[in-house]
Amino acid sequence: MRPRLRILDLATGTGDLAFLASSRGAAVVGLDITWRMLELATAKKTGAAPTFVRADMLALPFADATFDVITTGYGIRNVPVLDRALDEVARVVRRDGQFLSLDFDRPANRALRSLYLAYLTVVGSLLGLLLHGDPDTYRYIPESMRQYPGSAAVAQMLRARGFTRTEVIPVLGGLLAIHHASRGDRGDREDGRR
């Protein structure tokens, strides 16, 4: 009998990815630094559900090689020290493990990037005002993207940490990106961008 897949969902927020993985039989830990997000996630629990932990992605409270898969949705762009967060990912994932991340991407073209950031600022302000009565609610998104190195640089950082297979999958014409990185002993290296 195959053991249950152990999954860590970083920056889990209200736990959507964690609940999805748990519903498919995985043993899941959802981690977030914000108490309120974890309160919202915990309130959604029914039956077999993820375990939720409050901790920082820069200092994961787990032993080396604990997880088969690490996921995050809109998480790595927001960490204050991306290198250290990826060091922690590499430390707690198993030697044959995988890392999956979905996040906004930073278009390489300077003009397109400027338009994209302006768009996110305007739309984010409108959504913040309409949904929360505060136009600054989502202002952190374009601000965080100004510091984010972009998907190609993140893929390179993952390779430097022993992920032998890395893939960047553009979403919405490259405005978002999925990183899929695997570790293993096979020695094969496949770097790609679809």
Q: How far apart are CA 39 and CA 32, in angstroms?
A: 10
Amino acid (1-letter code) at residue 98: Q
Q: How far apart are CA 130 and CA 148, in angstroms?
A: 27
pLDDT of residue 136: 81
- Name the nearest CA neighbour of 35 among 20, 51, 53: 53
Strand 6-10 to 67-73 pairing: parallel
pLDDT of residue 185: 55
Exposed/middle/buried for 76, CB within 10 Å: 0-12, 13-18, 19+? buried
Q: Please state the pTM of the whole predicted model.
A: 0.86
C-alpha distances in Å from residue 10, one per residue of 30, 51, 92, 120, 187: 6, 12, 12, 24, 27
- pLDDT tens track of the chain, all 194 residues? 456 899 999 999 999 999 999 999 999 999 999 999 999 999 988 777 899 999 999 999 999 999 999 999 999 988 999 999 999 999 999 999 999 999 988 887 888 878 888 888 888 888 878 888 888 877 778 788 888 898 999 999 999 999 999 999 999 888 889 999 998 754 444 445 54
Spatial contact of 95 and 108, defined as CB atoms under 8 Å apart: no
pLDDT of residue 192: 52
Spatial contact of 181 and 167, defined as CB atoms under 8 Å apart: yes
